[in-house]
Structure 1
Amino acid sequence: MSYQHILIAVDLTDECHPVVQRALDLAASNGAKADLVHIIEPMAMAFGGDVPMDLSLLQQQQFDQAKERLVSFAERYEQLGSGQRHLVYGQPRQEIHQLATELGCDLIVVGSHGRHGLALLLGSTANDVLHGAPCDVLAVRLKKPS
């Protein structure tokens, strides 16, 4: 199958670089366009949604830091122009699916730690993205940091 538009979902850690490289290699071999996305989860989600204080300033700082990290991360890849980088706020699965649909992507590439046991039962972002995806999903195994 030949892909035309690939969405690469990353958490901006160094272990994601092989995921991006794999996706860009696929894009090059298919003559496809590639976009990079990083999702920022609202702080209220991390605390179960029951936070008795205003987190807007902290969330803005989180967004600004993520924007800087995204630019720095993406600069390693000349194939990715600034219009192909997306920073989105929300629940990862929903936002990745929505962006893939909006952009008309036919492949989503995510990193996977390949967890087993309890972690597998609890799920991961890669597993979450797979279910209900509007297109094919490729989970690239992440190497454990040394």
Structure 2
Amino acid sequence: MSYEYRHILVAVDLTKDSSRVLERALPIARRNDNAKISIMHTLEPLGFAYGGDIPMDLTSIQDQLDEHARERLAEVADPHGIPRENQHVVIGMPDSEIHRFSAEHGVDLIVVGSHGRHGFALLLGSTSTGVLHGAQCDVLAVRVGTEENSEE
């Protein structure tokens, strides 16, 4: 039985910690015969944020958000040589879209940032928790957002 990873999905939120999450995946890919890396950001549909009760067409705003997310994702991925065809911006709920992408593209490792929430914040859930609980492959949660991490 082989434990080599062939396709790694890095899920990012496009904050300043996104590079840290990607940088944790890169050496894993190198150690696994240069495994393919895909990087993904998920935009929640504007209709979800406003309950779908807005009497206007949000398509152009959603398109602008999509374009901005693609530009930001490229800023994170391009310096590390991640080809544009492996950079994905999708619309939907983050944990569901990460699971869908992983299943459709044969991902065997998901790398996601985690803020290490506890107590009440943990009860409310997080993307990393949702990814972990529904994943059909290994998940690496990279601790982000702490003072000691942000000083590096």
Could you tell me which of 42, 48, 53 is aligned with 2:51?
48
Could you tell me which of 77, 81, 98 is aligned with 1:96?
98
TM-score in terms of structure 2 length: 0.89
Aligned residues: 145
Cα distance between partner residues in 1 of 2:15 and 2:128: 15
Which residue of 2 is the match for residue 108 of structure 1? 110
Which residue of 2 is the match for residue 121 of structure 1? 123
Cα distance between partner residues in 1 of 2:85 and 2:69: 16
Query: RMSD over aligned Cα, in angstroms?
Result: 1.4
Aligned residues of 2:18 and 2:76 also touching (Cα < 8 A): no
What amino acid is aligned across from residue 93 of structure 1 in structure 2? D
What amino acid is aligned across from residue 55 of structure 1 in structure 2? L
Q: CA deviation at 1:51?
A: 2.9
Cα distance between partner residues in 1 of 2:57 and 2:124: 29
Cα distance between partner residues in 2 of 1:53 and 1:134: 39
TM-score in terms of structure 1 length: 0.92
Identity of aligned residues (%): 52
Cα distance between partner residues in 2 of 1:119 and 1:86: 28
Could you tell me which of 117, 134, 142 is aligned with 1:140?
142
**Is 1:58 equivalent to 2:76 in the alignment?**
no
Residues 99-122 of structure 1: per-residue CA shift (max 9 Å, x gap): 111110101110000001111000
Could you tell me which of 88, 97, 102 is aligned with 1:86?
88
**Is 1:38 equivalent to 2:41 in the alignment?**
yes
Residues 8-33 of structure 1: per-residue CA shift (max 9 Å, x gap): 00011111211101111111111211
Q: CA deviation at 1:52?
A: 3.3
Cα distance between partner residues in 2 of 1:53 and 1:131: 36
1:67-82 paired onto structure 2 within 5 Å:
67-78=70-81, 80-82=82-84
What amino acid is aligned across from residue 90 of structure 2 in structure 1? V
Q: Structure 1 unaligned segments of length 5 or more: list them.
A: none
What amino acid is aligned across from residue 27 of structure 2 in structure 1? D
